[in-house]
Structure 1
Amino acid sequence: MALEDTSEYPLYRKAHIPTGARVADLLARMTIDEKIAQLHAVWLKLAEDGHHQSRSEDFAQRDTGVPLDTLLRHGLGQVTRPLGTHSVDPKDGVKAFNALQRQMVEDTRLGIPVMAHEECLVGLMIKDATLFPSPLNYAATWNLDLIGRVGETIGEQARSIGCHQGLAPVLDVSRDPRWGRTEETFGEDPYLVGVMACSFVNGLQGEKRDVLATLKHFVAHSASEGARNHAPVHVGPRELNDTYLLPFEMAVKLARAGSVMPAYHDIDGVPCHTNHELLQGVLRDKWGFDGLIVADYAAVNLLYTHHGVARDAAAAAAQSFNAGLDVELPGHECALHLKEALARGEISEATIDAAVTRVLRAKFDIGLFEHPYVDAERIDLRSEAAIDLAHEVALQSAVLLRNDGVLPLAADDKQKVAVIGPTADDPLALLAGYSFPVHLINSGEQSESSVTTPLKALRDVLGEAQVIYEKGCDIIEHRRAGAPVFPGDVALDSRDLNSRDELISTDTSRIASAAQAARNANIAIVFVGDLAGLFQSGTVGEGSDTDSLALPGVQQALVDAVIATGTPTVVVMTGGRPYNLAGQEERIAALVMAFAPGEKGGEALAGLLTGRAGFSGRLPLSVPTSAGAVPYVYNHRLKSAGTPVAWHFGSRYPFGFGLTYTRFAYGGLELASSEAPIADGVFEFSFTVENIGARRSDEVVQVYLRDRLASTSRPVKELKAFARVSIEPDENVRLRVRLPVDMLNFTDARGERIVEPGEFELMIGSSSRDIHLHATLTVTGAATRTLERDWRMVSDVKVIDAR
């Protein structure tokens, strides 16, 4: 029960008192030990009887030798993943968390409640929670309202288990799909990433902002050297601001994200967890961020164990908290040594007080002092609405990249369909790395009973007699506990670098049977792709980077064998990154990229392939022609492709691309004015999109601009507006776009965002390559303008007429 508000209580316990006064009162009462206790977490396997067990990992939280009772007697800032650390019934997990909370509130001197955080990128990463599609799927919908509802649903589930902070979303801008964490991103465009993040954050936090979203990984984690996990980042200040910082700036200013998590890597030799210029200078001082900065797991101890910039745990803690950190996660390995750092003069008590102030303010603001406990009878993790929402995201995110007319499958009870491939009947193949069943593979625990595979869904739709199934090959024959490499690093003198290769299957013995199944069918559907897994326990995911965009294992040989039969072949690719098909893209009948579509992905794919639903997803990232063409992104600078441009560079399927079961025509572009003043101008224009096909479908209209003359080299095009619009056959829809001049900005040598007068090419189309309408827009003014802090970051697209 919540504490009653009586006059006998100290000021900080009185709910009607302003937060600032409550914080000041409580801080003045705290000893240095009680302050430090608020600056770290503890990673526990909680128990309802209060006999909690410490969790330790060589990488994430090593055993410090401090007894748990000693560790908790001064209070605690956060508890790490109380329900997501191991497989526990949610009701039992909540009761166990309440037991810890009761200890904090009733048995410590000041009774400061503890915050709980969980992973929630693709739904709460706990047992029985809804398994949503991956962030690549979120972005592939190009549907901001839909992803806002996803965030809202995850937020509601989080509140029901007492989770106060969710470690999502990921705002890393994908620039190299070899990076294992590509699956966690919203794609390669900073504007798309930014607006998607804002929708998710607004939904997750809600109007009360009582569940804190955590923006990660600050910043440029996806720009790592060679797309390798934790590797250094080499970007200039202009690129850092315009590409990688922009989504964070949007989510901080527009969505008031409650927390930010720095990244593991260094930028130009400065680890992000010690980067005062970024954490304090940019994030807090320049942008006005007012939330918590929490460490990525074990990143503070990496300052002395890996980066080599701190001599010991005390120095690592001092450096990170001096830079602006508020809470060490997932445990306490370094923060416990802050007293030592204080005695050595490496940190001041004022700096510690500032961090404690922010932690206490967050706890007061989310109402934790008044409502510290959770009602175990009101847990809501698998509502019908949540599952339907996961299904809708899967439907709207699958991208049809090629179709020679074989799709949708004909409704013919005499037609035989061969379902082939290692991912056709594997529930885990539909799930991203931060889903609970996949994440806990490393603990030997997994549960995917709620997942319907594509094979089962197609049998349900087409009938058992119409479906022939052959697996053909495995990606990984045996998913095993632990990881071949953890945490993705090897000893400098290691001679055994082949463990991951041994994980991937090389068995081709069943390919012949799969080819025969294709010969016995009218059409073959081959399901290929990835298996997510941490630190090379899978083929994609955190620490599971690659050096190739060829399908893992022997999957390409399987595809080749099926194509060689002459049976029309549909390839359905699931997973966390795009792959190439060794030139077979032109020989297959259809190609679908479904990413990791979640627990309802099987039903969604069956509905799309049979025409019960229509394809409407669009690529949130380019599909490079090969690993040798990487890095390739649509919004590159002109010379990025080299001179001359070679055929093996570029992208077969560009950013924003996707086919439907109908066709659209664009026309009627009208500019309200081709000019707008640099000070406060807004470009307004309208155009028409017509469905010239035979069935209703959604079109994703995309607006790009190119700066024709600038003081620095600029990208060939940049996304500035988009909208997803449902259009009936023969229907004309007229859309109006309002685009602020501010959005034509870029970063100058001072690190400031500026807009320059001049001409911009307007391009409107159905992908970054397929441009249907052109015009010239002119920003008028005599001088360059430096943008103020609260500049206009988003455009507006509305349907103004449909007939």
Structure 2
Amino acid sequence: MSLQHKSEIPLYRDPDAPTEARVADLMSRMTLDEKIAQLHAVWLKLSADGHHQPRSEDFAQRDAGVPIERLLRHGLGQVTRPLGTHTVDPKEGVRALNALQRQMVEDTRLGIPVIAHEECLVGLMTKDATLFPSPLNYAATWNAELIGRVGEIIGEQARSIGCHQGLAPVLDVSRDPRWGRTEETFGEDPYLVGVMACHYVDGLQGERRDLLATLKHFVAHSASEGARNHAPVHVGPRELNDTFMLPFEMAVKLANAGSIMPAYHDIDGVPCHANRDLLEGVLREKWGFDGLIVADYAGVNLLYSHHAVARDAAAAAALAFNAGLDVELPGHECALHLAEAIERGEISLATVDAAVERVLRTKFDIGLFEHPYADPEHVNLRSAEATDVAHEVALQSAVLLRNEGVLPLKLDSAAKIAVIGPTADDPLALLAGYSFPVHLINSGEQSDLAMTTPLQALRDLLGKDRVIHARGCHIIEERRAGAPVFPGDVPLAAMSEDKVDELISQDTSDIPAAVAAAKQAEVAVVFVGDLAGLFQSGTVGEGSDTDSLTLPGVQQALLAAVVESGTPTVVVMTGGRPYTLGGLEDKVAAQIMAFAPGEKGGEALAELITGKANFSGRLPLSVPKSAGAVPYTYNHRLKSAGTPVAYHFGSRYPFGFGLSYTQFQFDGLECSTREAAIADGTFEFSFNVNNVGACDGEEIVQIYVHDKIASSARPVRELKAFARIPVASNASARVRVRIPVDMLNFTDARGERIVEPGDFDLMIGSSSRDIHLSETLTVVGHATRTLERDWRMVSEVEIVAQ
């Protein structure tokens, strides 16, 4: 660009100018209406001819009565899910997004392009994109590098359709599996969640951070009262920081996450969308977060319509933007009233300007002004590598909980296998709630799923003649449009009345045929579990909470009848939360927890069941003995089970647990550093992992610590390091671990992270319960240390000899 030409264009349009100079120049040219337009989104069904149609939703975006032309006249901050809102051919969807972008760039006074955001938790949530497994599967791999590659692929697909922000990952730390959104989490350990999140964010955003990851839901959404969606959260500041904030802190400081989304609930009466202490105080001032804070859908509106901490939409907007919000999503219900809030003295122009500056800075930094359009001829939502990675996650995440010698099934046998259960031949049963096909259910659309189900995959491997199929029962007989319950739909006066149609089937008429099939077979493989669906259109997912950990519908009766047939029974559970087997745990021959393994889940399960691949997944959350035993997590404090400890509390299958077709032993622990200085020390030790079985396998080594004496009550154990260790049959691997002293911190009464001198139990094992090696580590120092902002958050685990 010539110097003469540069002088003819506004400074903010000069790509070589510093970002801050561009922001200042553009801000100096903007009217209040143009500023406010940058602080909200619109939710439209876009059209390539420019005749866009509004989308309204009773809960997420009500009709504000503002014509589209008026909404777009002054520009726009974001457009909500341009390709993910409805079924649209991806190329046509990109053309429609380009049409909107062209309106913003060419038909508005300042030509500010718009950020397009999409959901991307389990793959880009659009037609034809790869359908990855659920985040519980991600965590069950204990393979952070693999999940980083998942993020990279999703990022590549998102960029190809003009998406600039992905609304993922979910960093909520699971506390109670009755919560419907458990399926969206990385499990119950804050360190595991944080490590997985950092790799996903790094992969999604790339080195240039030209696509923003969105950490959600800030904070403690998963600790809701009674595991109910949107319910209040009752946690103290120490637990809030140590358990729920840690993953967010890691992803902000280590992965440079570009965006954060507050949660719907209130903490001690303060809704997160109006919590300045969290959004400004912790995120920006304490952690140095420099990205965008975007509202969860309708989260600003809820400040007056549900929480009743604001009198109207203008007051709600003032509360949220004063707290630190930058963009209202998915629409504009409240942000459009910011001018009124300024006139009433409820928010200052300076506060509005600060939010607008952050939005503009982001748009400049991601290169949006220079590259506002996507190429419809280069849409890339499918690739062999993406499919392979989805397959690998499914393989590495399935957890073998029990095996009494019945698995693997023999490929070279003529024995009959009965494949039974409502999820054996249902492709939707392989998918999580934030997948595109599941989201279509509530809009009344159907998705053509070219996916191989477990039944089809087992027929392919074993031969069709060997497989006898009987469904046995339904979970939901008809997946239909229209969520039965949106949050807030049921008035208080009607809460005692049961007016919701029962979706879950209670029909037992197909069970006898399933029993007959089992009796004809050498082994019965029974597929049970969940069907994801939002707001009670399914049995798990956002708003689909439960009061029980009994298998939904009549699945327990089906399983009991098959077990009673006398045929050895393998249970394969898929879905978004662990369920109990109603006392049949000791009567089944094998049990597998596969969560929601995605589009390649059918093939992966068949390969594992037949021994073509070995199990290596480990539980990312505990499986409580019953709903009455929750909340239960492995990293509880000693008294959480009461005194005396009741036998029916706790977990049958603990955090980190999982079996294999081979066996491992641990030995040879050597601590090169048993004592480490409190100021900057690092503990270092090594040990052997021996494969003493007949086949190759991968062990997940897990390192836990316990603070023996502390100034506040501490968990019985906490995960501080982990790694996948591949070991060939009859071979060994020498593993070295380094844990910084910083990671032995906890939060004090000031809200600061501290490390105290003293002794710590070191526990090395294959699960949080199965500890094989132990030692005592000592932090040496004369006084308690307060950690600096950039403390060492990650341990190192490596194979040093094999």
TM over 0.5: yes
2:628 is aligned with 1:607: no
Structure-to-structure mapping, 1:703-714, within 5 angstroms: 703-714=703-714
Partner of 1:793: 793
User: C-alpha deviations, 1:399-435, integer Å up to 9, x for none?
Assistant: 0000001000012442100000000000000000000
Letter in 1 for 2:746: F
**Residue 731 to residue 540, structure 1, CA distance change in 2 (3 Å):** same
SS at match of 2:43: strand
Partner of 1:398: 398
Partner of 2:236: 236
Partner of 2:690: 690
State whether residues 5 and 15 of structure 1, in contact with CA within 8 Å, keep that contact through their aligned partners in structure 2. no
Query: TM-score, structure 1 length as denominator?
Result: 0.99
Partner of 1:487: 487
Report how far residue 782 of structure 1 moved. 0.3
State whether residues 673 and 682 of structure 2, in contact with CA within 8 Å, keep that contact through their aligned partners in structure 1. no
1-structure distance, mates of 2:564, 2:592: 20
Partner of 2:626: 626
1-structure distance, mates of 2:127, 2:5: 36
Report how far residue 502 of structure 1 moved. 1.1
1-structure distance, mates of 2:587, 2:791: 49
State whether residues 306 and 488 of structure 2, in contact with CA within 8 Å, keep that contact through their aligned partners in structure 1. no
1-structure distance, mates of 2:101, 2:158: 17
Letter in 1 for 2:76: L
1-structure distance, mates of 2:601, 2:378: 28
**Residue 683 to residue 5, structure 1, CA distance change in 2 (3 Å):** farther
User: C-alpha deviations, 1:387-406, integer Å up to 9, x for none?
Assistant: 11100000000000000010
Letter in 2 for 1:118: E
2-structure distance, mates of 1:5, 1:776: 70
1-structure distance, mates of 2:5, 2:732: 61
State whether residues 500 and 536 of structure 1, in contact with CA within 8 Å, keep that contact through their aligned partners in structure 2. no
Structure-to-structure mapping, 1:118-137, within 5 angstroms: 118-137=118-137
2:646 is aligned with 1:650: no
2:389 is aligned with 1:389: yes
Report how far residue 92 of structure 1 moved. 0.3
State whether residues 411 and 461 of structure 2, in contact with CA within 8 Å, keep that contact through their aligned partners in structure 1. no
Partner of 1:142: 142
User: C-alpha deviations, 1:479-510, integer Å up to 9, x for none?
Assistant: 00011101365211125753556110000000
2-structure distance, mates of 1:732, 1:217: 42
Partner of 1:111: 111
Letter in 1 for 2:637: R
Partner of 1:13: 13
2:745 is aligned with 1:745: yes
Partner of 1:409: 409
Partner of 1:157: 157
2-structure distance, mates of 1:619, 1:547: 22
2:247 is aligned with 1:247: yes
2-structure distance, mates of 1:263, 1:637: 26
Partner of 1:36: 36
2:194 is aligned with 1:194: yes
2-structure distance, mates of 1:53, 1:483: 22
State whether residues 428 and 448 of structure 1, in contact with CA within 8 Å, keep that contact through their aligned partners in structure 2. no
Partner of 2:211: 211
Letter in 1 for 2:344: R
**Residue 495 to residue 269, structure 1, CA distance change in 2 (3 Å):** closer
Partner of 2:463: 463
Structure-to-structure mapping, 1:392-791, within 5 angstroms: 392-487=392-487, 489-494=489-494, 497-498=497-498, 502-791=502-791
Number of residue equivalences: 799
2-structure distance, mates of 1:82, 1:386: 22
1-structure distance, mates of 2:186, 2:405: 30
Structure-to-structure mapping, 1:198-347, within 5 angstroms: 198-347=198-347
State whether residues 488 and 536 of structure 1, in contact with CA within 8 Å, keep that contact through their aligned partners in structure 2. no
Query: TM-score, structure 2 length as denominator?
Result: 0.99
Q: Runs in 1 of length 4+ with deviation above 2 angstroms?
A: 4-7, 495-501
2-structure distance, mates of 1:7, 1:604: 60
**Percent of matched pairs sharing the same residue:** 78
1-structure distance, mates of 2:680, 2:412: 60
State whether residues 140 and 620 of structure 1, in contact with CA within 8 Å, keep that contact through their aligned partners in structure 2. yes
2-structure distance, mates of 1:201, 1:260: 12
State whether residues 488 and 543 of structure 1, in contact with CA within 8 Å, keep that contact through their aligned partners in structure 2. no
Partner of 1:85: 85
SS at match of 1:216: strand
SS at match of 2:411: coil
**Residue 713 to residue 625, structure 1, CA distance change in 2 (3 Å):** same
Letter in 1 for 2:222: S
1-structure distance, mates of 2:57, 2:489: 15
What are structure 1's unaligned runs of at least 5 residues? none
User: C-alpha deviations, 1:346-381, integer Å up to 9, x for none?
Assistant: 000000000000000000000000000110000100
1-structure distance, mates of 2:222, 2:297: 17
Letter in 2 for 1:763: M
2-structure distance, mates of 1:7, 1:446: 54
Letter in 1 for 2:538: G
**Superposed CA RMSD:** 0.9
1-structure distance, mates of 2:575, 2:536: 14
Letter in 1 for 2:618: R
User: C-alpha deviations, 1:271-292, integer Å up to 9, x for none?
Assistant: 0000000000000000000000
Letter in 2 for 1:609: I
1-structure distance, mates of 2:197, 2:144: 9
SS at match of 1:710: coil
Report how far residue 7 of structure 1 moved. 3.1
State whether residues 301 and 333 of structure 2, in contact with CA within 8 Å, keep that contact through their aligned partners in structure 1. yes
Partner of 1:376: 376
**Residue 593 to residue 488, structure 1, CA distance change in 2 (3 Å):** farther
Letter in 1 for 2:388: D
Report how far residue 450 of structure 1 moved. 2.7
Letter in 2 for 1:290: D
2-structure distance, mates of 1:451, 1:75: 41
SS at match of 1:7: helix
SS at match of 1:540: coil
State whether residues 76 and 104 of structure 1, in contact with CA within 8 Å, keep that contact through their aligned partners in structure 2. yes
Report how far residue 386 of structure 1 moved. 0.2
1-structure distance, mates of 2:499, 2:671: 60
Partner of 2:63: 63
2-structure distance, mates of 1:198, 1:326: 23
SS at match of 1:750: coil
2-structure distance, mates of 1:18, 1:708: 52
2-structure distance, mates of 1:490, 1:584: 37
Letter in 2 for 1:253: K
SS at match of 2:7: coil
Report how far residue 9 of structure 1 moved. 1.0
2-structure distance, mates of 1:617, 1:495: 41
SS at match of 2:76: coil
**Residue 5 to residue 740, structure 1, CA distance change in 2 (3 Å):** farther
2-structure distance, mates of 1:592, 1:563: 16
2-structure distance, mates of 1:160, 1:445: 24
1-structure distance, mates of 2:234, 2:95: 47
**Residue 289 to residue 510, structure 1, CA distance change in 2 (3 Å):** same
